[in-house]
Structure 1
């Protein structure tokens, strides 16, 4: 590419040739792949024959907090030295030979199991059970290990050992608080949805800041992130680089370890197919592997369906399918008046009716033939900040047809916050659906008064009957690993309030067979 070797004042620790790729067609993903494993301050050499990179790469460095140290331009292209973070100059050298040459990783062949396992028995989830939605605040030492693992600095075995210790603490805290159904606290995940991208074949996790060039108005999107208190530099987003397949578990390993820590039923949450399709479909990236998002959605459904089969076979009492972005579909424009950031979803959406129809079809295919009593659906209105003012608002009326037809036995809903409207709206749901009623608001730093929570729980029992009611917070306590909504102490206290209400309701209603 270059007519002669570039002469930089410093020697890079790694080097790769991006050829003619521009920042909007994959170069940024390759940069992330090569810079993540480097130590802070280390240098990466990027070679490029694409002229637009001379303008776009400095802008990317400014946006992501990395430093452009040197740029050498020639007739055949350019060579850039980029420091990971702030650069501290060592002694200069006369030449800069590449110490490692990076290449594009070839797409792995799609792997599909010949036979999916059947569900195995699991402990039943009793009426009036108390459970968290999924995530639990992570210790600081786990966050350090999580980022080191994502950046390739910590091996799988070392990370899993650290995560095991955090799961033990999470499960013990839930049990001590009095829950009836346990989660592993999603301790191994960077957030509730994008973690999938680190475990699927032909998918890569990159910071959202790396992807601003793919949205229609990067400056406006960056402004939205700041206004909505989203830590964009730490939130990672899945980028599809080839046909998706599942050659290793997405969450079965989480379930298996959690089961060693408790005799209680264990619930596992997975991002739903509509959410993942919206998250993963980005023109100029995923369209090199898929003709359109419908084609991508088929593979998303396939890998999620495989995972649910294996989760049920491993004894998951409940598999929760998270589809919070459905509230963005119905409320994102009409209620807030503008586009609202939801859970890392970068792409634009169609009309609400079309999007709900698409989501309904995906959910039907995902759950086809699976036992509804062991499947749940969770919907909320966004959980990236404790600031209620920037979250979506609106009751469940626009989603009632979807909820009514959803092929799951349980819906776990945000209902404690006034933004979710009145509980009575849900009276039309079919009698064969249980309702997980959000009774404490994880966004509030104060713990709810026990008598108030009990009164709202009693109201739910009067509306739906004790056999159909479950008790839960509105959402997880730490949906995004680096941006927990509550402390572990507050989370435990909120679960204790729910457990207190559940005990009172059981005495009132289940003892007499309501």
Structure 2
């Protein structure tokens, strides 16, 4: 039995799809024409991953313009001046601000999953936004007639319904993207905001049985966008013990881009919950240099010195393009890195007798 390996989620969109998004936003392309371009990109993504030997597929977020805001498409009661996320290279991303309730998802990720599974013969994993990220939509000064407590109840209901729908639709796994975890420590070094995020996410996860949670995981990284990060300077040691309080069956950990991966692995080994699996990042989506299969093998073997092999998996550090307009790494390089991960993980499996 090989060490499991999975993609994280997003992949660079083909140029034709990026142009289709832009033309649609300008009113020069119909909904049907955009959907056709998205459908073609999803089919190509699934086929290429299968050809590379990936045992688990993703749709690459090809139909999403952003991995955080996809549930908001068409939602009334939004203003553009929400929370600003600063990146180390100086660029920013900005979330919308909620102006009215009740809060309801307009798009759920099970729609993407069903479309992908109709085109795939292999297991398909689905990434979803963590409720903690969407909690940032609520303004600090509140909303008249819609208190924060009511918003959070609605958010928990919506997030749980999305995960449930993905499980019911046959997802191999459902992955909560939790990149705001490490960022929260930059905004609040006391850890108070992070504790609130963990508690909110666990309110959702508690709605699932122990067996169901074996198919639910959480991904953490310091952000990956346009070749930069938003919180790589935050000490991982401050995040990991709290992260492992999340009631999930798998943790997808950015590791390849860490300066001291052995230190991170040691912390992970000390805090990984019983029965949970740690998927360690063995490729860096921010580095245009493609890893060799042998480099990946050695990273897996290093992880196996800290973690039991039967609780070890591999992944990419992060998605390659969480926003549709991110073309900092080409689609070809992304697939080459994924191939290196798949081949290198298998080499390590042979060495370890997994």
Whether the TM-score (by the shorter chain) exceeds 0.5 is: yes
The 1:505–1:391 alpha-carbon spacing in structure 2 relative to 1, beyond 3 Å, is same
Q: 1:202 to 1:427 in 2, by over 3 A?
A: same
Listed as ranges, the matches of 1:13-412 within 5 Å are 128-150=3-25, 154-198=29-73, 201-204=75-78, 210-211=80-81, 227-230=89-92, 237=96, 239-246=98-105, 249-278=107-136, 280-283=137-140, 287-288=143-144, 290-292=146-148, 294-330=149-185, 332=186, 352-370=190-208, 371-387=212-228, 391-412=231-252
Q: Give, in angstroms, the shift of residue 172 of structure 1.
A: 1.6
Contact (CA 8 Å) 2:292, 2:344: kept in 1 or not?
A: no
Count of matched residue pairs: 348
Native 8 Å contact 1:437 1:470 kept in 2: yes
Helix, strand or coil: the match of 1:463? coil
Cα distance in 2, alignment partners of residues 147 and 296 from structure 1: 32
Relative to structure 1, is the Cα distance of residues 353 and 375 closer, same or farther in structure 2, using a 3 angstrom cutoff?
A: same
Runs (5+) with no aligned partner, structure 1: 1-125, 216-220, 334-349
The alpha-carbon distance between structure 1 residues 229 and 420, as it changes in their structure 2 partners (threshold 3 A), is farther
The answer to which structure has the higher helix fraction is 2
- Where has structure 1 moved over 6 Å in runs of 4 or more? none
Q: Which structure would you say has the larger RCO, counting Cα contacts within 8 Å and 6 or more residues apart?
A: 2
Classify the secondary structure of the residue corresponding to 1:185. Answer: coil
**Residue number in structure 2 paired with 1:431:** 274
Deviation at 1:479, TM superposition (A): 1.1
- Contact 2:70–2:107 (CA<8 Å) still a contact in 1? no
Distance 1:298 1:189 in 2: 25
- Residue from 310, 314, 322 that aligns with 1:471: 314
In the alignment, the residues of structure 1 paired with residue 121 and residue 194 of structure 2 have an alpha-carbon distance, to the nearest angstrom, of 38
Q: Which one has a bigger Cα radius of gyration?
A: 1
State the alpha-carbon separation in 2 of the partners of residues 168 and 137 from structure 1.
14
SS at match of 2:191: helix
> How does the TM-score come out when normalised to structure 2?
0.89
**What stretches of structure 2 of length at least 5 have no aligned partner?**
none
Give the superposed CA RMSD. 2.6
Separation (CA, whole Å) in 2 of partners of 1:272 and 1:194:
11
1:263, distance to aligned residue in structure 2 (A) = 1.7
**Distance change >3 Å, CA 129–CA 328, structure 1 → 2:** same
